[in-house]
Amino acid sequence: MSPESQASEALPSRRRRAPRGGRHRGDESFLLPPGSPALILAVPGPARQGGTDIAAELARLVEIEHTGQPAHVGHLDGDEGNLGALLAGLHRPQDELAAVVVPMSTGPDPALDAAVRAAVAAAPVHAVAAEPLGPHPLIAEALHDRLADAGLARADRIRMMTMVTAATGVIVATPGDATAVRQAEVTSVLLASRLAAPVFTASLADEAGMRAAGEQLRAAGAASVAVAPHVIGSEPEARLVPAAAAAVGAAHAAPLGAHPALARLAALRYVEALSLALAD
């Protein structure tokens, strides 16, 4: 079978659901044919930790809203629900792609990405690693929604803009080091355009950096500051959010959690990685 014909059979076909009401009206989905490679969400840490239910709910949303096929959750630590064991349990001919592993992170994470690549390389079946969920405009949409949920921003549905209410400046607080901050700044720019308000970016683990961002926002005229956690909720850094916000004297939104935008991104990253794998 030629690569072209193989791709035409294995690649998911795009479909558009009937328009539905609400914020996510007009979503695009991908209908996977039977026998498609497994979609696995790779989650940092062991099973039964805080945020484990988020991955399970995202997997459910990916399945029912976007692919029509089961999505799985693989943890990078511990024996229960382990990613390596999940990959080893897949039954597929050696020459066929068995799985696409999507890292559950809002941006490049060297430790998580390396762990996913190691699990994929050690798998007895053919698997590939997808890109992390962000940066992407949908992450900015999800951050905006969580700020609105916390009463820190509201959507002007008539003009399709966001007007900040309780906060006039925002800090996007991200896991990781200076490299992660630079990656998250892409999302911060997109969020600032939605909010029509200044947005700075800082590392959750860098208290001095968080304080500096708050001081810069207040020096620029922000009367109040809010923290938008650039985390899904299953990352170890998620527990740092309340203390980081308190250090700045700011209110904070909840982590992104099982936001529908993240489910859309997981399906998108799966399709991108599948397309590249079949083109090789």
Q: What is the pLDDT along the chain (280 residues), one digit of tens a residue?
A: 443 444 334 444 334 333 333 333 334 567 788 889 999 999 998 888 777 799 999 999 999 989 998 999 999 999 999 999 999 999 888 889 999 999 999 998 888 999 999 999 999 999 999 999 999 999 999 999 999 999 998 765 434 444 445 568 999 999 988 989 999 999 999 999 999 999 999 999 999 999 999 999 999 999 999 999 999 998 989 999 999 999 999 999 999 999 999 999 999 999 999 999 988 7
Q: What angle do CA 146, 189, 176 make, to 5 degrees?
A: 70
Structure tokens at 263: 């489910």
Residue 86 contacts residue 75 (beta carbons within 8 Å): no
Torsion of Cα atoms, 184 then 72 then 119 then 42, to 10°: 20
Confidence (pTM): 0.85
The CATH code that applies to domain 38-134+260-279 is 3.40.50.1400
The CATH code that applies to domain 137-252 is 3.40.50
Establish whether domains 38-134+260-279 and 137-252 are of one fold.
Answer: yes
**Where in the chain are the domains?**
38-134+260-279, 137-252
